[in-house]
Structures are given as structure tokens and as C-alpha cells.
């Protein structure tokens, strides 16, 4: 496994999801509810040390419950405020060229852009919308791509094929929102050439490697590329069914007897993990493979791990022991497909933990940079909002 972005990719996911919500009216409604909550007489404030809400009265438990406005389980006024603080942090830390981070800028800018979209930010509208616009401009700049359509960043922390696939996923999510035909045309040219690059470098086994010419595949990369192809296809780009089928076959072959998924079929490792299992299952769901045996075994493994962690003192967030942001990002995508008891139990445990981990400045700490941790945490909290086509059920 490549020790640069291969590692970052592995840290990196009841009520109903709104059907095709209007981002303008939805955002306005949420802001009005949030404003009403803030103006409540109960003196709810933030802990300076943890950033967690508490009240200053003796009867703090009942007061806090009365101050929380439900916006559709598991989303409430606390998670709404947490999302807005996180988005503000990303916007504040966007650099002059439009990237949200100087570490793995291609991947983190793509994830940050999806986090803005997932919070209801509209392209080009207001400060946050302008930040979204600059992120798109950064990723579609001619200097970002080589002659084959390979999107790259430069420097010591290169995103490689992980960054490329995240960028195609994000740009496909924003397709159709750009205000001018020229910008929309450029966006689609980047997506189309990026898809062509991915199709050309799929390995013999059906996966993808760390670089376009890498013959050794890796499952987390295969997940990223398959989700990017699905997003591009949904935005109107032609993607051959055969390529999708080969990638699905690759992931199915990664499934072990106990339901966990391994990292690679060709790199000489049989190692499996919760994180890789959640990522593989979410991608199989995106491909419409709901009834296959491998998914059933994988869901059994996921359920056992979540319930065991939830019964422990650490809670379900730590089902993903090695890379919690990555693992929970994909776990949420899997569980929201069916909702039900496991989704309810997972969200009741994970939502408070994610909010508790938010720092005073609105960020989440990560070994890969706080911008990365913030983008991934936002994408987890935004799951119920339904703004991202990626989260369609």
C-alpha cells in the first residue's frame, strides 16, 4: 500500500430523506429554525474546551433537551450548528488558488467541495458559494491535468489516483449548477477526460492502482474509482457497463468468508478491515448490487462490529478502529439505504460523538490535516440532509 494517499483514503462515510430538496428553500428553512433555536431563552452555550453544547442551569439535562430543535432525525439544531461551523472553517482556510488544504490538496479540496454541497451551499451564491466556485476552478484549471486527463497535485503529499477519483466524483456532483455554458462545458470536458483516463487504466483483475500505469490494484482505490464512474454516469457522461461489471466483480472477490473485505487481490496481502468492508458495501449498493451473497455476508460483519462497539464504552463511532472518519463516512452511506434499527442505533451513538470531537474553531482534528477531518465529519453529519446526489437512496 502506498504510504501517502493510500493512508489518507483509509481514514476517509428514523425519518426520511427529502426527495430532491430545493437547496435554496431548504437552506432558508434550516437557517430560520436554527435562528429560532439560538434565540430561545435557555442559556445554551458552547464549552470552550470541547465545543459541545451545555446549559448553565442546574437542570441542564432537561433544559438542553428542550433547547434542541429536531430537524428530522438524526439531524437536529446541534448538528445543524455543527455543520455551519465546519463549513465556515473550510471557507476561512481556503487558500488563494482555491484549494482547501496544502496537504493532499486535490483530494481534500474535492472532499471539502462535497461537504459544502452536502450542507446546502449553492454554487456562486454568497461567501460560501463563492468558495465552492473557487474550488471548482482549482480542480478544472488546465495546469491540474496532464495530456491524458489525469488530475494531479504536486509536492510532497500527492493525492494520486485517490485524488483524481475524488475530484471526478465532486465535479460530477456539481455538474449542471454552473452559470455559464462555457464553464459548464469546461467542467464536463474535465469529467469526460478523467473518466477516459480511469477506463484506460483499469487492471486485468478489474481494480485500479495508485498511479494510472500501476498494474497492482487496491480495493480502496477501486471503491473511489467505481464511485467516481457512477457519479459521472449520473451526470450524463457515458460509462461502459462492462467496466462497472468488472469493478463489481473485483470487489466481490475481495469478500472473505466472515464477510470482511480485503485490501487487494494482487498485492500479496489477505488483510481485511471494518473500513474496507464499509467502503466496499457502499460501492456495491451504488452499483445496485443489493441481493448478492457477498453483500449479505458483509452486512453481517458490519452489524456484528457496530453492535459490539456500541455495547462497549467507546461507542459505535469506534467500530472503525483505525480510520474512524473514513470508516463512518462509508458506514453511514450503507446504513441509510435501508434505515431501520441498525441505522437508528448507529446514529444515536455516532452523531453525539462527531459533534463532541469538533474543536472550538469549528474543525475536526486529523493526522492528515484538520481540513480533511473537517470535510469528512461534515459529510457524515450531512447524510440525512439529502443534498448530495451521492447520498440518494
More confident residue, 268 or 280: 280
Answer for the pair 110, 167: CB distance below 8 angstroms, yes or no.
Answer: yes
Work out the average pLDDT over 42-58. 36
At residue 68, the pLDDT reads: 60
Supply the angle between the helices 181-200 and 219-234 in degrees, to the nearest 10. Answer: 140
Residue 43: predicted pLDDT: 36
pLDDT band at 158 (very low <50, low <70, confident <90, very high): confident
Angle, helices 219-234/241-253, rounded to nearest 10 degrees: 150
Span 352-361, average pLDDT = 97
What is the torsion angle, in degrees rounded to the nearest 10, for the CA atoms of residue 320, residue 325, residue 331 and residue 334? -160
**What are the structural domains, with CATH classification, of the chain?**
5-38+70-391 (1.50.10.20)
Query: For residue range 191-209, what is the model confidence (pLDDT) as tens digits?
Result: 999 999 999 999 999 999 9
* pLDDT at 156 (0 to 100): 62
| DSSP assignments along 309-344, one per residue | HHHSSS-GGGGS-S-HHHHHHHHHHHHHHH-HHHHH
pLDDT mean across residues, the chain: 84
State the SS3 of 56-112: CCCCHHHHHHHHCCECCCCCEHHHHHHHHHHHHHHHHCCCCCCCCCCCCHHHHHHHH
Residue 75 banded pLDDT, cuts 50, 70, 90: confident
Query: What's residue 165's pLDDT?
Result: 97
Report the DSSP pairing between strands 53-55 and 44-46: antiparallel
Q: From CA 152, how far away is CA 165, in angstroms rounded? A: 10
**pLDDT at residue number 12:** 39
pLDDT at 296 over 60: yes
Say which residues have a Cβ less than 8 Å from residue 149's Cβ, sequence separation at least 6.
Answer: 190, 192, 193, 194, 195, 196, 197
Please state whether the predicted TM-score (pTM) of the whole model is above 0.95.
Answer: no
Q: Give the residue from 216, 205, 221 showing the smallest Cα distance to 253.
A: 205
CB of 271 closer than 8 Å to CB of 257:
no
Given a cut of 70, is residue 31 above it in pLDDT?
no
- 74 preceded by a cis bond (ω within 30 of 0): yes
Task: List the single range of 25-29, 37-41, 260-264 with lowest mean pLDDT.
Answer: 37-41
C-alpha 393: how far from chain center: 15
Name the band, by pLDDT with cuts 50, 70 and 90, for residue 28: low
Residue with the three cell numbers 451551499: 121
pLDDT at position 38 over 50: no
CA distance 326 to 331: 9
What pLDDT, in 10s, does the model give residues 241-258?
Answer: 999 999 999 999 999 999
To the nearest whole percent, how much of the chain has pLDDT over 90? 70
Q: What is the pLDDT of residues 103-153, one digit of tens each?
A: 899 999 999 999 999 999 999 999 999 999 999 999 999 889 888 999 988
Q: Is the per-residue pLDDT at 27 higher than 70? A: no
Summarize the confidence of residues 161-184 as an average pLDDT.
95
Determine contact, residues 348/74, Cβ cutoff 8 Å: yes
The C-alpha cell 489516483 sits at: 161
When pLDDT is averaged across residues 333-351 and rounded to a whole number, the result is 91
pLDDT over 80 (residue 21): no
Top pLDDT among 354 and 75 is at: 354
| pLDDT value at residue 114 | 98
Q: Which of 369, 391, 373, 256 is nearest to 324 (CA)?
A: 373
pLDDT of 62 strictly over 70: no
300: alpha, beta or left? (left if phi > 0; alpha if psi -120 to 50): alpha
Q: What confidence score (pLDDT) does residue 278 get? A: 97
Strands 272-273 and 261-262: antiparallel
Per-residue model confidence (pLDDT) at position 244:
95
Read off the pLDDT band of 83 (50, 70, 90): very high
As a whole number of angstroms, the distance between CA 306 and CA 333 comes to 14
CA distance 368 to 8: 6
- Name the 3-class secondary structure at 289: coil
Amino acid at each position: 500500500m502506498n504510504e501517502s494517499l493510500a493512508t489518507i483514503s483509509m481514514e476517509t462515510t428514523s425519518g426520511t430523506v427529502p426527495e430532491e430538496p430545493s437547496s435554496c428553500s431548504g437552506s432558508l428553512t434550516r437557517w430560520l429554525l436554527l435562528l429560532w433555536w439560538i434565540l430561545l431563552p435557555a442559556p445554551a452555550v458552547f464549552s470552550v474546551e470541547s465545543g459541545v453544547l451545555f446549559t448553565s442551569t442546574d437542570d441542564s439535562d432537561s433544559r438542553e433537551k428542550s433547547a434542541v430543535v429536531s430537524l428530522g432525525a438524526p439531524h437536529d439544531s446541534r448538528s445543524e450548528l455543527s455543520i455551519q461551523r465546519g463549513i465556515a472553517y473550510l471557507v476561512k482556510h481556503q487558500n488563494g488558488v482555491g484549494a482547501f488544504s496544502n496537504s493532499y490538496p486535490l483530494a481534500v479540496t474535492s472532499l471539502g467541495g462535497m461537504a459544502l454541497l452536502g450542507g446546502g451551499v449553492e454554487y456562486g451564491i454568497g461567501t460560501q458559494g463563492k468558495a465552492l466556485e473557487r474550488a471548482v476552478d482549482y480542480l478544472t484549471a488546465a495546469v491540474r491535468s496532464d495530456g491524458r486527463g489525469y488530475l494531479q497535485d504536486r509536492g510532497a503529499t500527492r493525492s494520486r489516483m485517490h485524488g483524481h477519483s475524488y475530484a471526478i466524483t465532486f465535479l460530477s456532483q456539481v455538474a449542471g449548477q454552473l452559470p455559464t455554458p462555457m464553464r459548464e462545458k469546461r467542467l464536463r470536458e474535465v469529467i469526460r477526460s478523467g473518466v477516459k483516463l480511469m477506463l484506460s487504466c483499469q487492471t486485468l483483475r478489474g481494480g485500479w492502482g495508485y498511479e494510472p500505469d500501476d498494474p497492482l490494484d487496491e480495493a480502496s482505490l477501486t471503491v473511489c474509482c467505481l464511485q467516481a464512474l457512477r457519479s459521472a454516469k449520473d451526470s450524463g457522461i457515458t460509462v461502459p457497463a462492462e467496466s462497472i461489471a468488472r469493478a463489481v466483480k473485483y470487489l466481490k472477490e475481495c469478500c472473505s468468508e466472515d464477510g470482511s473485505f480485503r485490501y487487494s487481490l494482487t498485492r500479496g496481502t489477505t488483510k481485511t478491515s471494518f473500513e474496507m468492508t464499509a467502503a466496499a458495501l457502499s460501492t456495491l449498493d451504488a452499483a445496485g448490487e443489493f441481493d448478492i451473497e457477498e453483500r449479505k455476508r458483509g452486512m453481517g460483519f458490519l452489524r456484528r462490529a457496530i453492535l459490539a462497539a456500541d455495547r462497549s464504552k467507546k461507542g459505535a463511532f469506534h467500530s472503525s478502529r483505525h480510520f474512524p472518519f473514513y470508516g463512518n463516512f462509508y458506514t453511514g452511506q450503507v446504513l441509510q439505504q435501508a434505515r431501520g434499527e441498525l441505522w437508528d442505533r448507529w446514529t444515536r451513538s455516532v452523531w453525539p460523538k462527531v459533534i463532541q470531537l469538533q474543536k472550538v474553531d469549528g474543525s475536526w482534528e486529523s493526522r492528515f490535516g484538520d481540513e480533511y477531518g473537517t470535510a469528512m465529519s461534515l459529510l457524515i453529519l450531512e447524510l440525512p440532509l439529502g443534498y448530495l446526489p451521492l447520498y440518494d437512496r
